A and B are shown apart, each in its own frame.
Chain A
Amino acid sequence: MNITEFIENFASQFDDTEPDAFASDTKFKQLDEWSSLTALSIIAMIDDEYNVIIKGNDILNSETIEDLYKIVEKQQ
């Protein structure tokens, strides 16, 4: 896995936020569109794409997309 692809996959879970709003240092929970439903989409995407089931705490403890990426990478 690589971070560029992870960011693309991450961004595609959002409907109303432009793709260029996403970078490795994006504080995703501060995005207007972020909600508990988006969190579920992210968990599902990570399962589909990386075969990893992350915990709720992994999302709560991650600030940036890169933080989450590192958690997934470690579990692969």
Chain B
Amino acid sequence: MSQLTINNVRIAGMSACVPSTVEDNLTLPIYKDEHEAHKVIASTGIERHHKVEPGTTASDLTVKAVEALLENMGWESQDIDCFAYVCTSRDYIAPQTACVLQDRLKLRHDCCVFDLPFGCSGWVYGMSIVGSLMSHGTFKRAILVAAETNTQNRNPRDTAVRPLFGDAATATALEYDPEQSRPMNFMYGVDGSGFEAVWAPYGGMRHPVTHEALEEKEVTPGVFRRGIDMVVNGMDVFGFAIKQPPRSLKELIETFNIDVDSVDLLLLHQANKFIDEKIRKAVKIPAEKTPYCLEEYGNVTSASIPLTMVTRCREQLSGNEKHCVACGFGVGLAWASMEFYAGQVKFSDVIIY
């Protein structure tokens, strides 16, 4: 089993930015009647999501989130030793977006920057990668971004996915702090045989963009997509999501001898309520310890866990240290679970772009 423990690193601050346009699921023109819309909302728990205007990228939201984070922390952009950008909706095919953001954010020229093109598991993976780099002790301050504009790479006429996904950017400030930090523990998982459960077939090197890939087709009744649009095969994702995340969390709990009763917060990737509640019940953590922000923001892939922390856990995590367990899971298929402690975290208000 691949497991990892990281010492000497703590979460110091968090911020988020969401676009101002809100799409309300109840009034989406994709349902035959309001009864159907209510049914979908009841089952997914997702009432609305924020959506960028075409032309606004995840990096635009990121700049606002990082500026708010730095200001709130009293950090200068020149203080940042490492900057990681978890995102699949990149600005350009090349270069990686983190390079462009170095200049836009006025990070140092010797700052260690890179993209991490993860989806829903990305914040947990990113915490382990940036945390691990920092644990050596020479990087003192780092920023981990988890951002996505899901509404731009999915087809608005794909009725199965439009109500579920939203756009957001989050920034997590990490600090090297041997005095006040507690170990962070990680477990990983991947099953590439399921890569077609969530994927964008065209636009990469395997299937380059062709004229045909830009043509919209009705793939199943009422569902329209282009070759370059993201495909989400709901049934296969669901089958995966009710199996692997509970298994991964149980492995984490067993491997690191976690007393489940001592867990204050279960932070789940905000897939949908139906899936997340099944995971929560499987690991026997009470509902009041499992915050959700999906009703307001939908599934914002890698930004889901940090956005939940910023919008729903601010009071708890600003105070004394809390014992947290998190699980991110999705596209890949990839998943990761982590145990960590967080307290005295500095949160900025959610920025509206």
User: Does B238 lie within 8 Å of A40, measured CB to CB?
Assistant: yes
Chain A residues with CB under 8 A of B54:
none
User: Does A55 lie within 8 Å of B234, measured CB to CB?
Assistant: no
Chain B residues with CB under 8 A of A55:
235-236, 239
Chain B, interface size: which category?
10 to 19
User: Does B234 lie within 8 Å of A36, measured CB to CB?
Assistant: yes
Residues 233-252 of chain B, each 1 if its beta carbon lies under 8 Å from chain A, else 0 = 11110111011000000000
Of the candidates B40, B239, B240, the one whose C-beta lies within 8 Å of that of A37 is: B40
Q: Let me know if B43 is at the binding interface, CB within 8 A.
A: yes
Chain B residues with CB under 8 A of A53:
239-240, 242-243
Chain A residues with CB under 8 A of B234:
36, 39-40, 56
Closest Cβ of chain B: how far from A8's Cβ, in Å? Answer: 21
Which residues 259-288 of B have a CB within 8 angstroms of A?
A: 274, 278
Once bound together, how far apart are the Cα atoms of A25 and B98, in whole Å? 57
Which residues 149-182 of B have a CB within 8 angstroms of A?
A: 160
Q: Let me know if B207 is at the binding interface, CB within 8 A.
A: no
Q: Let me know if B289 is at the binding interface, CB within 8 A.
A: no
Chain B residues with CB under 8 A of A56:
233-236, 239
Closest Cβ of chain A: how far from B221's Cβ, in Å? Answer: 11
User: Does A43 lie within 8 Å of B40, measured CB to CB?
Assistant: no
Closest Cβ of chain B: how far from A47's Cβ, in Å? Answer: 6
Q: Let me know if B39 is at the binding interface, CB within 8 A.
A: yes
Q: Let me know if A44 is at the binding interface, CB within 8 A.
A: yes
Task: Report the nearest A residue to B240, measured CB to CB.
Answer: A53
Task: Report the nearest A residue to B274, measured CB to CB.
Answer: A40
Q: Let me know if A68 is at the binding interface, CB within 8 A.
A: no
Closest Cβ of chain A: how far from B284's Cβ, in Å? Answer: 15
User: Given A47-B242, A47-B243, A53-B243, are A40 and B235 also a contact pair (CB < 8 Å)?
Assistant: yes
Once bound together, how far apart are the Cα atoms of A40 and B235, in whole Å? 6
Chain B residues with CB under 8 A of A36:
160, 234-235
Once bound together, how far apart are the Cα atoms of A39 and B278, in whole Å? 16
Once bound together, how far apart are the Cα atoms of A37 and B234, in whole Å? 9
Residues 15-45 of chain A, each 1 if its beta carbon lies under 8 Å from chain B, else 0 = 0000000000000000000011101100110
Task: Report the nearest B residue to A15, measured CB to CB.
Answer: B39
User: Which residue among B36, B160, B239, B274 has the maximum number of chain A CB atoms within 10 Å of its CB?
Assistant: B239
User: Which residue among B233, B236, B240 has the maximum number of chain A CB atoms within 10 Å of its CB?
Assistant: B236
User: Does A43 lie within 8 Å of B239, measured CB to CB?
Assistant: yes
User: Does B235 lie within 8 Å of A39, measured CB to CB?
Assistant: yes
List, sorted by A's number, 22 A–B pairs whose CB atoms are closer than 8 Å: A35-B36, A35-B39, A36-B160, A37-B40, A37-B43, A39-B235, A40-B234, A40-B238, A43-B238, A43-B239, A43-B242, A44-B238, A44-B242, A44-B274, A47-B243, A53-B239, A53-B242, A53-B243, A55-B236, A56-B234, A56-B235, A59-B235
Further 15 A-B residue pairs, CB within 8 A, beyond A39-B234, A44-B278, A59-B235: A37-B39, A39-B235, A40-B235, A40-B238, A40-B274, A43-B235, A43-B239, A47-B239, A47-B243, A53-B240, A55-B235, A55-B236, A56-B235, A56-B236, A56-B239
Residues of A within 8 A of B (CB): 35-37, 39-40, 43-44, 47, 53-56, 59
Q: Across chains A and B, which 5 residue pairs bring their CB atoms closest together, nearest first?
A: A56-B235, A56-B236, A53-B239, A40-B238, A53-B243
